[in-house]
Amino acid sequence: MTLADVTRAAVLAAVEEFDRVGCGEVLKSAGFGRSRAYYLDYGGRLYDSKPIIGYTHGVSTGTPWEAKEFSGGDKTVAQRIDTLGFKVAFLPNPDWTRDEIVLACELVKANGWRQLDANNERVRSLSKLLQSPAIHPGRRNPDFRKPAGVALKSYHIVADSSNETQLDKLVREEFRANAVEMRALAARIRELLRQEIVADLSVAANNPNVDEMSFREGGLALRAHFRRERDPKLRSRKIVEAQRRGLAIICEACGFDFEGVYGNRGRDYIKCHHQTPFHVTGETDTRLRDLALISSNCHRLIHRRQPWLMVEALKALITAR
């Protein structure tokens, strides 16, 4: 008996039975765990690929397969589902981003650097918060950031296990080195997640005043920071103020003069940078003195890694060279 014995009609019968009994009961009775990545997508609902095929094999041949009887992986099962004319959804759980690890690390620190249980109310609350589409938009795995996964991440942060990532270690060390700033960053991330902020990355490709930064690596706080920096009104007002004071439109860190190098094409071309990160200030009214006019290279260097440099600190590095 092979996967070739499975028929389309039997798959439809299995779907009907799963809807009637419930996926959890079928998984339990046949010894299956949840699918890791591949699902039958039928009528907008997701069905775990191996359990559905295991049950379907029983409908087709009279002998259902249990989990221990599968010799192939999820991908092999998914290929058979596709061959039968059904839609297959590939939904692996994404790696944890720095934003997510910051929130998990904050949770662990508040618990005295001890792991937390999946039934812990704070774990359940964080799990719900991470369901926001802000970090991982689009359709997700049914187990995406469930309490059990958040609890497991808390274990990886606490224990020096083989499953701990380099990013886990880096964020943990950042908390230990600068707890105040990291707590402020965590608060900012939570705020943005509650607002379900989803950055429109297409803006960067068409806006000459935006660096080609890595928004995925920069996270929500950096996205929000750049959104505020993109405000053309603030930039225009800052340039007008500088001109009114008789100042040249040059980089406040390195002194680069776009007009001096490129002529008329470079006139008034400069970036407008918020000197204090929004994960520190939160939502606030921006004053012109909070802004700095800087070159593209200096802008990138300021945001290259956290903690972000103040303009004066970058200027001091340049002067020292």
Mean of the per-residue pLDDT values for the chain? 82
How many residues does the structure list for the chain?
A: 321
Alpha-carbon distances of 237 from 14, 232, 234, 276, rounded to whole Å: 64, 9, 5, 18
Output b/e per residue, 270-306; b: 16+ Cβ within 10 A: bbbbbbebbbbeeeeebeeeebbbbbbebbebbbeeb
* Closest by Cα among 304, 308, 305, 306 to 275: 308
Q: How is residue 92 written in tokens?
A: 């692996």
Average pLDDT over residues 30-45: 85
Residue 229 has pLDDT above 70, yes or no: no
Residue 275 has pLDDT above 80, yes or no: no
pLDDT tens-digit readout, 127-171: 999 998 888 888 899 899 999 999 999 999 988 767 788 889 999
pLDDT tens-digit readout, 56-111: 888 888 888 777 777 667 788 889 899 999 999 999 999 999 899 999 999 999 99
Residue 203 has pLDDT above 50, yes or no: no
| CB neighbours of residue 23 within 10 Å | 18
Tokens 């407008």 belong to: 272
Q: How is residue 209 written in tokens?
A: 């005043």
Average pLDDT over residues 241-249: 89
Predicted local confidence at residue 63, as pLDDT: 80
**Global pTM value:** 0.64
Q: Which of 2-6, 20-24, 294-298 has the highest mean pLDDT?
A: 294-298
Which amino acid appears at position 278 of this protein?
A: F
